[in-house]
Every structure is written in structure tokens, then in C-alpha cells.
Amino acid sequence: MAVLAFVLIFAIATATATATASPAYTSTTDPKELAAAAAAARALVNASSWGVVSSINYLEKSSPFGNALSYSDGGSGTPYFYLTLLDMATANFSRADARSSLSLSEYALGTCGTLDPQEPTCVKVTLSGVLKKLDQESEEGKFANATLFERHPRFKFLPPVAKFQLYKLEIKSVFVLNGYGEPKFPSVKMYRKIKLVE
Ligand SMILES: *[C@@H]1O[C@H](CO)[C@@H](O)[C@H](O)[C@H]1NC(C)=O
Ligand SMILES: *[C@@H]1O[C@H](CO)[C@@H](O)[C@H](O)[C@H]1NC(C)=O
Ligand SMILES: *[C@@H]1O[C@H](CO)[C@@H](O)[C@H](O)[C@H]1NC(C)=O
């Protein structure tokens, strides 16, 4: 009886340890599935014009904060932003932690039909990385400015006093949910290589 109890306790302890030690899912390594996920991500990033930028920049020791912001990628895969230091995402940008992520849902495009926003077949993408200020005179700065003002024509009415500046999300990881099963993590390299189809 004592032996049985011990075995049982050991089994429970092992199961608990396994549950806490390993993540709830593992990403596929199948190149075709990863390429399809990367393509879905690039298409959603290009088709959307806004998303939620989460950062831990605002107010020291505060909770992670999600902020709905306009962006444009100009077809490049890199999200560009036009932000003021009055914005929550950038308030602590230069002094603290610039790690940020951009989350998008296909639901916002109106193309998920009767699906619930949370259903995996309604594509969801989170790009994680670092929010970086761009030099507006650099090639990338000029590209970012052009695509932002093209995609968001009303930016030209923003008050100069708020000192809007160009930023980009330098992507370090790509999370994609584009079907049933586990989320997928295509590499940034794979994500970048995707050619958008018109
Ligand atoms: C972040 O910004 C807020 C508001 O400006 C300020 O009170 C706080 O001290 C800043 N935190 C850091 C780490 O700079
Ligand atoms: C999508 O890419 C095209 C260029 O291929 C670009 O003109 C358009 O602005 C992009 N859309 C967004 C939201 O960046
Ligand atoms: C960004 O583009 C707008 C619209 O074309 C233009 O008025 C503005 O001068 C540009 N800003 C920079 C820094 O190039």
C-alpha cells in the first residue's frame, strides 16, 4: 500500500514538473507549414493599417500596455509608425525598455465571415521585437515616411507641436496562428523572404 502511494505521488509530482517545465505547445518544424504561416503573416501585415502595440515602457513597474496604433509596412514586412513622445508606447522609449510587439487579427479586415475572432482559422499574427526611432533623412526613413503618409493621408493634419517621429518595429520573432493546431513561429528570415502576391 505504501509503495503504491509512493508511486502515485511520484507520478503526480513528475506530471506537475513536466507541465511547468515545458511550454503548452511546440512549434512545427515542417518547412511547408512554416512558409505558409510566414506568407499568411506577410499578407496580414500588409493588408492591415493598424494593430495593437504592446510595450512595457510606460511608467516604471506598471503592467504591460497595449495601444491601438496606425502603421504601414509599404510591402516590406517591417511595420513603420509615426509617433509622438506623448504616446503611451514611446513615453519611456529612450530611457527604459523598447521591447514591443505588434498584434494583428484578420478579423479587423472583415474577411473572417461568421468565425469568432478567437478561432484559429481567422489569422492572428504577433511580431515581437524592439521599437526603434528612424533617422528621417535615411533611405529607410524616407521609405517609412512615404508609405505612412500614403496609407494614412490624415497624418498631414497632425499638429507639429506634438513632434511626431518615425519608428520601426525591428522584428525578432514572428508568431502566427493560421489554422487548427499549434501556433507557428517562422523565422524572421523566412518571413522577410516572402513575396507578396497582389
Ligand atoms: C516613464 O515615463 C513616465 C511618464 O513620463 C515617468 O513618470 C517615468 O519616470 C518614466 N520611467 C522611466 C523608467 O524613465
Ligand atoms: C502593402 O504593400 C503595398 C506595396 O506592395 C503598399 O503600397 C501598401 O501600402 C502596403 N500596405 C500597408 C498597410 O502597408
Ligand atoms: C513625409 O511625407 C509628407 C507627405 O508627403 C511630407 O509632407 C513630409 O515633409 C515628409 N517628412 C519627411 C521628414 O520627409
CA-based nearest residue to 83, from 189, 2, 168: 168
Question: Which tens digits make up the pLDDT trace of 74-103?
Answer: 999 999 999 987 776 665 554 567 889 999
Please indicate whether residue 73, judged by its CB atom, sits closer than 6 Å to ligand 2.
Answer: yes
The secondary structure of the chain in percent helix, strand, coil, rounded to multiples of 5, reads 35, 25, 40
Residue type, 136: Q
Question: Which tens digits make up the pLDDT trace of 149-182?
Answer: 999 999 999 998 888 999 999 999 999 999 998 9
Q: Which ligand number lies closest to the CA of residue 91?
A: 1
Spatial separation of the C-alpha atoms in residues 145 and 80, rounded to whole Å? 8
Query: What is the distance in A from the centroid of ligand 2 to the CA of 167?
Result: 17
- How many helices (H) and strands (E) in the chain? 4, 6
Write down the pTM of the prediction.
0.82
Question: Which tens digits make up the pLDDT trace of 37-68?
Answer: 999 999 999 999 999 998 876 565 667 788 89
Question: Which domains occur in the chain, in start order?
Answer: 2-193 (2.30.110.10)
Q: Residue 15 pLDDT > 50, yes or no?
A: no
Show Cβ contacts of residue 75 under 8 Å, excluding neighbours closer than 6 positions.
Answer: 46, 147, 196
Show Cβ contacts of residue 148 under 8 Å, excluding neighbours closer than 6 positions.
Answer: 70, 71, 72, 80, 81, 82, 155, 166
Return the best residue to mutate from 136, 137, 142, 149 for the ligand 3 pocket (most ligand atoms within 8 A of CB): 149
